[in-house]
């Protein structure tokens, strides 16, 4: 098969294998660090044992906020400085910050370890975006799609392995400190930086001199901001991708609400202090949910391409949102742990399937001159919608998480989005094989004209 040939080519590509090693060690460390951080925030006695949905929302927002705001501007930096040095430097900095976090994490609330954790997660944006940008430097054009797919899939598995390793280590030995778990992640970051330093020269991964944009860094930042505004205006003329992006933003808002409900329930109503004083059962459940979430992401990557070919992307989006409505309604009527386990699997299939479809709609339905700006705008909508959902839930969800009315409202909202999208997008599919795409004979979208071949 053709795919097998590409995989064999990549397996024999020494530079790709080395770059993959950088990714896998870095993402495994990400999983270990984020798991240790979550365990510390939610289970560290020094930080208090009270159940508070606002605390959960604030913890996620503090860690994801800088990461989200940096997203659109990462490309500006990656296009102006050595990507090898940026990736190596980011992972070295994260390894050093792990030492600071280890020394301050067990001392209770403090701005030092919170600030360090924010920097560590924000730097992850540079690492992952930089690794993606370097693929054309090490992989032939004919193998690029397979390389992207293979790297992201294996990276997700490495991240999940890091999560699972940390969770199992904590369950197997309750005396393992959160600082030790974070330190283990620091070793992963250090290993990733050393592999990058040993295997690639400074200019081996770009950008080359002829690729570097004109103008300084601050001019690039200003241009990026203006570009996002221009991308927003452009979407007014591309209704298909615009509607798909709007649906994804609303989904992320509701996803954030369900996330807080689930965490509050497992930390509150589903926890029996007498039978499980060490919260071993709670940690086990949250670990199971994390694993099922990753399984859902991988399942969506397999199912979505075929589903969009068979049903079309517009119908697939409608089906996914309808699935979320049914899941939320079922949760509102049952409110049991096993129900949330099944829901996490299915909702993550829907979430990732929606993301793949939206990304494809931007790739195929947006002109190349605007594509980067629209992707940056989409990234912002994706993250801001989630953060807004977290804090909305913090205002609505009680400390023990028992909020069937909130989940019923989420189900009704998904139903309205489903019906609204099906109606508004009846003549505006996210993308279509017969409409404009990079492979079409026309250089760009042709309004009110057919481009079918």
Same domain, 174 and 53: yes
Q: In angstroms, rounded to a whole number, what is the distance separating the alpha carbons of residues 32 and 26?
A: 10
Q: Is residue 26 part of a domain?
A: yes
pLDDT for the residue 107 = 57
Say if 147 falls within a structural domain: yes
Last residue of a domain, one of 205, 234, 269: 205
- Determine, yes or no, domain membership for 246: yes
Residue 93 tokens read as 């900095």
Structural domain includes residue 220: no
Distances (CA, A) of 351 to 66, 297, 386, 450: 22, 8, 12, 32
Number of folded domains that form the chain: 2
Separation of alpha carbons 381 and 248, rounded Å: 8
Q: Show the tokens assigned to 383.
A: 């993250």
**Angle between helix 337-365 and 280-311 (nearest 10):** 40
Residues 253, 285: one domain? yes
Tokens 């002109």 label which residue? 367
pTM score: 0.73
Nearest to residue 190, comparing CAs of 16, 17, 79, 33?
A: 33
Q: Residue 186 corresponds to which tokens in the numbers above?
A: 């620091």
Write down the pLDDT at residue 449.
39
Same domain, 270 and 304: yes
Query: Rounded to whole angstroms, how far apart are CA atoms 132 and 144?
Result: 10
Say how many Å lie between the first and final Cα of the chain, rounded: 28
| Shared domain check, 135 and 104 | yes
What pLDDT is attached to residue 59? 73
Q: Which residues contact 261 (CB under 8 A, 6 or more apart)?
A: 393, 397, 401, 403, 406, 407
Handedness of CA 173, 177, 183, 188 (dihedral sign): positive
By the 8 A CB rule, do 219 and 138 touch?
no
In-domain check, residue 435: no
Give the angle 60-65-66 at the CA atoms, nearest 5°: 130
CB 364 within 8 Å of CB 313: no
Strand, helix or coil for residue 205: coil
- In this prediction, residue 446 carries a pLDDT of 40
Q: Are residues 314 and 347 in the same domain?
A: yes
Q: Is the separation of the CB atoms in 106 and 46 below 8 Å?
A: yes
- pLDDT (0 to 100) of residue 411: 97
Residue 451 lies in a domain: no
What distance in Å separates the CA atoms of residue 86 and residue 93, rounded to the nearest whole number?
10
| DSSP tag of 213 | P
Alpha-carbon distance of 291 to 287, in angstroms, equals 6
CB 74 within 8 A of CB 132: no
pLDDT of the chain along its 453 residues, tens only? 455 777 788 888 889 899 999 999 999 999 888 888 777 766 655 545 557 788 778 777 766 776 666 666 665 666 667 888 888 998 999 999 998 888 876 655 467 777 888 888 878 877 877 787 777 778 886 776 567 667 777 888 888 888 888 878 777 765 667 778 788 899 999 999 999 999 988 878 877 655 445 555 566 567 666 766 766 677 777 878 889 999 999 999 999 999 999 988 988 888 877 777 777 788 788 888 888 888 888 888 788 888 887 888 889 999 999 999 999 999 999 899 999 999 999 999 999 889 888 877 876 777 655 665 676 677 778 888 998 999 999 999 998 889 999 999 999 999 999 999 999 988 777 776 444 333 333 334 444 333 333
Instruction: Please give the pLDDT value at position 209.
Output: 56
Are residue 140 and residue 237 in the same domain, yes or no?
no
The boundaries of the domain holding residue 36 are 1-205
CATH number at residue 389: 1.20.1250.20
Asked if residues 135 and 147 have their Cβ atoms less than 8 Å apart, the reply is yes
CB atoms within 10 A of CB 262: 25
pLDDT at residue number 443: 37
E-strand stretches of 3-60: none
436 in any annotated domain: no
- Considering the domain architecture, whether residues 260 and 166 belong to the same structural domain is answered as no
Within 8 A by CB and 6+ apart from 418, the residues are: 318, 321, 322, 325
Angle at 388 between CA 384 and CA 389, to 5 degrees: 120
- 19 in the same domain as 165: yes
Looking at the fold, whether 277 and 356 belong to one and the same domain comes out as yes
Q: How far apart are alpha carbons 420 and 376 in whole angstroms?
A: 25
Q: Which two tokens stand for residue 92?
A: 């070295």
CA distance 288 to 160: 11
pLDDT of residue 440: 37
35 and 132 inside one domain: yes
d(CA 408, CA 399): 18
Same domain, 382 and 300: yes
CA distance to 5, 50, 289, 386, 388, per residue, from 400 (Å): 53, 10, 18, 21, 21
User: Is there a single domain that holds both residue 103 and residue 59?
Assistant: yes
Do the domain assignments include residue 453? Answer: no
Report the distance separating Cα 286 and Cα 168, nearest Å.
Answer: 11
């Amino acid at each position: 098969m053709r795919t097998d040939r590409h995989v064999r080519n990549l397996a024999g590509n020494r530079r790709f294998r080395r770059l993959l090693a950088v990714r896998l060690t870095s993402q495994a460390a990400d999983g270990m660090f984020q798991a240790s951080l979550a365990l510390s925030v939610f289970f560290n006695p020094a930080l208090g044992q009270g159940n508070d949905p606002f605390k959960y929302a604030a913890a996620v927002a503090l860690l994801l906020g800088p990461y989200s705001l940096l997203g659109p501007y990462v490309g500006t930096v990656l296009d102006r400085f050595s990507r090898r040095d940026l990736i190596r430097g980011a992972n070295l900095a994260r390894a050093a910050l792990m030492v600071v976090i280890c020394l301050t994490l067990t001392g209770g609330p403090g701005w030092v370890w919170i600030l360090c954790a924010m920097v560590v997660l924000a730097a992850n944006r540079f690492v992952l975006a930089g690794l993606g940008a370097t693929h054309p430097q090490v992989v032939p054009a004919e193998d690029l799609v397979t390389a992207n797919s293979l790297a992201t899939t294996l990276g997700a598995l490495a991240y999940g392995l890091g999560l699972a390793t940390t969770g199992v280590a904590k369950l197997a030995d309750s005396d393992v400190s959160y600082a030790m778990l974070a330190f283990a992640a620091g070793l992963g970051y250090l290993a990733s930086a050393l592999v990058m330093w040993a295997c690639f020269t400074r200019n081996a991964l770009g950008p080359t001199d002829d690729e570097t944009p004109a103008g300084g860094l601050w001019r690039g930042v200003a241009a990026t901001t203006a570009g996002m505004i221009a991308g927003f205006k452009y979407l007014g003329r591309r209704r298909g991708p615009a509607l798909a992006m709007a649906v994804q933003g609303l989904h992320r808002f509701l996803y954030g609400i369900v996330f807080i409900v689930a965490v509050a329930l497992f930390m509150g109503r589903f926890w029996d202090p007498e039978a499980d004083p060490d919260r071993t059962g709670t940690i086990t459940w949250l670990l199971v949910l994390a694993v099922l979430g990753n399984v859902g992401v991988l399942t969506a990557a397999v199912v979505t391409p075929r589903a969009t070919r068979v049903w079309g992307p517009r119908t697939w989006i409608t089906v996914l949102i309808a699935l979320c409505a049914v899941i939320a309604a079922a949760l509102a009527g049952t409110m049991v742990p096993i129900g949330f386990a099944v829901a996490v699997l299915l909702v993550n299939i829907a979430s990732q399937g929606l993301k793949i479809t939206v990304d494809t709609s931007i790739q195929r339905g947006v002109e190349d001159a605007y594509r980067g700006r629209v992707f940056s705008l989409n990234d912002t909508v994706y993250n801001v919608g989630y953060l807004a959902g977290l804090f909305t839930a913090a205002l609505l969800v009680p400390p023990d998480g028992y909020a069937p009315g909130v989940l019923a409202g989420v189900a009704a909202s998904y139903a309205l989005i489903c019906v609204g999208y099906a109606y508004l997008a009846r003549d505006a599919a996210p993308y279509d094989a017969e409409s404009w795409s990079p492979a079409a004979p026309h250089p760009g979208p042709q309004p009110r004209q057919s481009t079918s071949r």
